Structure 1
């Protein structure tokens, strides 16, 4: 019986041994499949990494430092059209408040502008994301200006030499656009507590607190509408660095009873 079984087993046809060409084709097929799988995993990894980086950048821009594209000439020569500046959103988060001379970005809704026209929500979202990265113009409600008066200050234009006075002290505004007057519009304002009087450095090209004196907000900007302080240049390359400060307000006294 065992001999018969062995004979039958030997009589069965065996699988043909693949030749060199067949083995080569099989190897190439396996290599192609492995390459496709590797490429697919690589694309997935790249996409995931890109998504994580994008979320991190957007969060960083929303809460820490936001690039801001300068859209107009209102702050020349300090800021030029097309400059990308970096707005420090932590500057006033821990009890500090805007000071005279600070260059700030703020939401001008209800002070400089009324509610804007309704937009397609998807377009608004995409534009907001691009603007938060400094790749698109900022929202129509966002402005960049210099703080000239803080809560309690009396800001007057102008003295006999054409200078703005803050709390009775004339201010030598070394940052003004060459040839510009401090203001051609006279005003005498006491800034409400919790508000700011702001002006552009290019006074003849700036719509600022002066232009909204007769409106309900009185031209001042609520402190809680401040988005952040412009601290650095991010572009162009030749200007990268800190925003120059000013000593123009160093001698201005604190507001007192006589200034109200």
Structure 2
């Protein structure tokens, strides 16, 4: 009986060790793969000013998905770099794209193609009219951008006298901000106020990246912990007479 029990225990132990090894291997693939995937798809930036508050504060660390400027839609928060703007990374919200007519304000609201836009991301108590915008037709291939903190943002309205009426070429876009990672405010809400004008961007794969990293960590830790736990459980499960005979 004891030999049969020993063989059964050894079989269970080998199976457990095999499963533990597989869990650790799969966990490593998911954990490292998630980090590599994130590094390929996303670029971190530090926002230097308060022009995007309350959505993004000064000093916040954000993750921007590397996207082609042609994929940017109204409502997206983008990182761009343009020589006329100081040739440094800037973070602003796209409120109009090529072919749109933008103005401010009608009934205290920004208008795009004559439609009033609800902007829940503006600071509480601040109306869109805090920044007057003359009626402007956005040239093809360009973007009209504003800060969420309208009263203090150096955005398209500060460059109206330049070529393109203060707009930014799509080619200048470096990424689309998906999340604020420090402080950990999480993924940005998708702006719904622009839906009447057409589609809005879908969230990037950040949730999947994070899920892969977390799942990998759980599998690695769980698989690594299984061995010691199984050995201890096996020792406790052995009959005392068998232990005495072994002595």
1:80 aligns with 2:57: yes
2:188 is matched with 243
State which of 127, 138, 143 in structure 2 corresponds to 1:181: 127
TM-score normalised over the length of structure 1 = 0.58
Q: Tell me, what secondary structure is at the counterpart of 1:87?
A: strand
Q: Larger radius of gyration, structure 1 or 2?
A: 1
Q: Tell me, what secondary structure is at the counterpart of 1:187?
A: strand
Post-superposition CA distance 1:142-170 (Å, at most 9, x none): 100000000100001111x1111111110
Q: Tell me, what secondary structure is at the counterpart of 1:210?
A: helix
Structure 1 residue runs of 5 or longer lacking an equivalent are 1-55, 116-140, 255-260
User: Hey, what's the Cα distance between the residues in 2 that align with 1:192 and 1:216?
Assistant: 10
Post-superposition CA distance 1:167-214 (Å, at most 9, x none): 111001111112223143231111111000000000011110011001
User: Hey, what's the Cα distance between the residues in 1 that align with 2:97 and 2:164?
Assistant: 15
1:68 aligns with 2:68: no
Post-superposition CA distance 1:68-88 (Å, at most 9, x none): 111111000000112111010
User: Hey, what's the Cα distance between the residues in 2 that align with 1:252 and 1:170?
Assistant: 10
List, as ranges, runs of 4+ consecutive aligned residues in structure 1 with deviation greater than 6 Å: none
2:97 is matched with 150
User: Hey, what's the Cα distance between the residues in 2 that align with 1:70 and 1:212?
Assistant: 20
User: Hey, what's the Cα distance between the residues in 2 that align with 1:210 and 1:155?
Assistant: 11
Alignment RMSD (CA, Å): 2.4
User: Hey, what's the Cα distance between the residues in 1 that align with 2:118 and 2:182?
Assistant: 28
1:169 is matched with 115
CA contact (8 A) 1:167 1:253 kept: no
The structure, 1 or 2, with the larger RCO (C-alpha pairs under 8 Å, 6+ apart) is: 2
User: Hey, what's the Cα distance between the residues in 2 that align with 1:227 and 1:248?
Assistant: 24
2:242 is matched with none
CA contact (8 A) 1:169 1:253 kept: no
Structure 2 residue runs of 5 or longer lacking an equivalent are 1-34, 200-247
More helix by share: 2
Q: 1:187 to 1:84 in 2, by over 3 A?
A: same
Number of corresponding residues: 165
The alpha carbon displacement at 1:216 in A equals: 2.5
The alpha carbon displacement at 1:244 in A equals: 1.4
The equivalences for 1:1-260 within 5 A come to: 64-89=41-66, 91-92=67-68, 97-110=71-84, 112-113=85-86, 141-159=88-106, 161-183=107-129, 184-237=131-184, 239=185, 241-252=186-197
The alpha carbon displacement at 1:253 in A equals: 5.8
User: Hey, what's the Cα distance between the residues in 1 that align with 2:181 and 2:118?
Assistant: 28
Q: Tell me, what secondary structure is at the counterpart of 1:251?
A: helix
